[in-house]
Chains A and B, each alone.
Chain A
Amino acid sequence: MSLLKVKEITSGYGDMEVLHNISIHVGEREIVSIIGPNGAGKSTLMKTIFGLLKPTRGKINFKEREIAGLAPDRIVRQGMAYVPQVENVFPSLTVQENLEMGAFIRTDDFSSRMEEVYELFPLLKMRKRQRVGKMSGGERQMVAMGRALMLDPELLLLDEPSAALAPKLAQMIFERIRAINETGIAILIVEQNAKESLKLADRGYVLASGEKRFEDTGENLLTNEEVGRLYLGG
């Protein structure tokens, strides 16, 4: 069953149309990867799904509910969490406080959830009271993802999680993403590092110039010659 159905979305910034008639879907517990060159509209798509941008045409269905055009704070209450590419943490707050903010809309006791997140990111547990602004890129990314997970979301949107990270750290992040998925959370991931993200993914989409070029399982896309030549850097 599809958790997220994006149908014929057209979106952009002001007068500039970036996405033309895009349709994708994400199933429960799936990892879906979106790859493509710079400026293809990957981030734009993610922001549109999460309500940071309003689409001019099309529908977005999440858990059988129409969410296109809703504000982010409404969408987040439906069970979708978003980790932006940059400025994705609260620098003057501690690790613990960042996670608490992630749970802001929860009205229940989330301490067990916090323990689970710390289990996923043991490094963060040691640095609970450290101000996030002073942490390295990799550590911040963990905080950013941990923050989103506090919500216990069904779908997690990740915008270029490995960007600006050294290869070893990027590997660690990808491995953590797999671990998160194994707890039952569907993940939609936009990535520059196409190869790694396709390795991770169940299914993938290739976007270029705001249009969908390819759609297949992760494996098939990896082995697809044309995709390899055009988008995977050979």
Chain B
Amino acid sequence: MDILAGIPQLIVYGIISGSILALGGVGLSLTYSILGFANFAHGDLMALGAYIALGLLALFGGLGVLNNPIGPLSFGLGLVLAFLIALVLTAIAAILIDKMIYKPLRRSGPVIVMISSIGVAIALRNILLFFWGPQPWYYIEKIQISMKVPWLLGVRIKPDELFIIATAITLVILLHLFLTRTRMGKAMRATADNMELARVTGINTERVILWTWGIGALLAAAGGILAGIENKFITPELGWQMLLSIFAAVILGGIGSPYGAIVGGMVIGLSEEISTAFISTGYKPAVAFAIMIIMLLVKPTGLFGEKS
């Protein structure tokens, strides 16, 4: 009975973690379906975003007023600004990486591009390691006390964590609007469905690819920064540690379905957290992996996947 009492709190943690995984997953799912390869450097794009935000935050450090906490949150406008700028800079970085490395390799086939992405992943991670070192860096110095929410089974949640969930929801809504209301968004969905048909229709698939990297990296960076807010600190391993869970989320949801990735992210996040009630926390990533393997054996196209 004691185990079950802790479950509502674990569900809260699962939703927070799931939101972050969902953001990472959507970006990965988009690039996977449109570019046609599993980008093993995606986690490190998340880390890159987190560190760019860190750097910008340090820059704003001189402007003290930006550090004043906003309301109940533990951080100020500085981090919000850093967040927005980091998103754009990470998107630019991803586009450059594609232009210099992935694009020339595309003619050699998706397998080669995938192998190269491991090289990109390791290089990115170690560039971060070079500049910032392996020790944890903190976005926020203060410790925040979690509030109790009596009408929700007495679970505890911090204002920062509400911010994380709210931000994730906002980004997902914005993405949804983009994919369903804008011309480029629909073109992206069309290209994810069938790239050759998209070309036949006259869609400029090269442009679609640029937008895909931009949006994928943007969401990845957001996920990385939110992870930094949740964990309070960041290390260069941040992205790689989440990568397996993110892949599980994408495969669970079905490659090419951004909505599937969101559902997948939440399922994986919840499963991982709830599993800690029953098995050692040391095996959390293995839970995601087990779910992924089961999905691959039962329905490889995922819950929402379409492609045969």
Contact = CB atoms under 8 A, between A and B. Distances in A.
Do chains A and B directly touch (beta carbons under 8 Å) in the complex? yes
Interface of A: 50, 52, 71-73, 76-77, 82, 84, 87-93, 97, 100-102, 104-105, 133, 147, 151
18 contacts: A72-B200, A73-B202, A84-B197, A88-B197, A90-B194, A92-B192, A93-B186, A93-B190, A93-B193, A97-B190, A100-B186, A101-B198, A101-B201, A101-B203, A104-B183, A104-B187, A104-B203, A105-B202
A97 B186 contact: yes
Contacts of A105: 201-203
A87 B200 contact: no
A101 B186 contact: yes
A87 B197 contact: yes
A93 B189 contact: yes
B299 interface: no
A168 B298 CA distance: 37
Contacts of B205: 73
Contacts of A50: 200
A97 B181 CA distance: 10
B180 to A, nearest CB: 8
Interface residues on B, range: 20 to 34
Contact of A101 (B187, B196, B257, B306): B187
Contacts of A102: 201
Interface of B: 183, 186-187, 189-190, 192-194, 196-205, 256-257, 306
A46 to B, nearest CB: 11
Contacts of B306: 91-92, 133
Nearest to A73: B202
A34 B113 CA distance: 40
Nearest to A96: B186
A101 B256 CA distance: 18
A84 B26 CA distance: 30
A104 B201 contact: yes
Contacts of A72: 199-200, 202
A76 B197 contact: no
Nearest to B193: A90
B203 A90 contact: no
A101 B257 CA distance: 18
Q: Which of A89, A101, A151 has the most CB of B within 10 A?
A: A101
B194 A73 contact: no
B235 to A, nearest CB: 38
A50 B196 CA distance: 12
Given A104-B187, A133-B306, A91 B193 contact: yes
Contacts of A151: 202
B207 to A, nearest CB: 11
A77 B256 CA distance: 28
Nearest to B203: A104
Return the 4 tightest CB-CB contacts between A and B, nearest first.
A105-B202, A76-B202, A90-B193, A90-B190
A73 to B, nearest CB: 5
Contacts of B256: 92
Nearest to B205: A73
Nearest to B184: A104
B193 A92 contact: yes
Contacts of A93: 186, 189-190, 193
Given A72-B202, A100-B183, 15 more contacts: A52-B196, A73-B204, A76-B200, A84-B200, A87-B197, A88-B197, A90-B190, A92-B306, A93-B186, A101-B186, A101-B190, A101-B203, A104-B202, A105-B202, A147-B201
A161 to B, nearest CB: 15
B201 A87 contact: no
Contacts of A90: 189-190, 193-194, 197-198
Q: Which of B192, B199, B202 has the most CB of A within 10 A?
A: B202
B36 to A, nearest CB: 15
A224 B11 CA distance: 75
A84 B193 CA distance: 15
A76 B193 contact: no
A100 B190 CA distance: 11
A77 B190 contact: no
Contacts of B202: 72-73, 76-77, 104-105, 151
B161 to A, nearest CB: 33
Contacts of B194: 87, 90-91
Nearest to B307: A91
Nearest to B192: A92
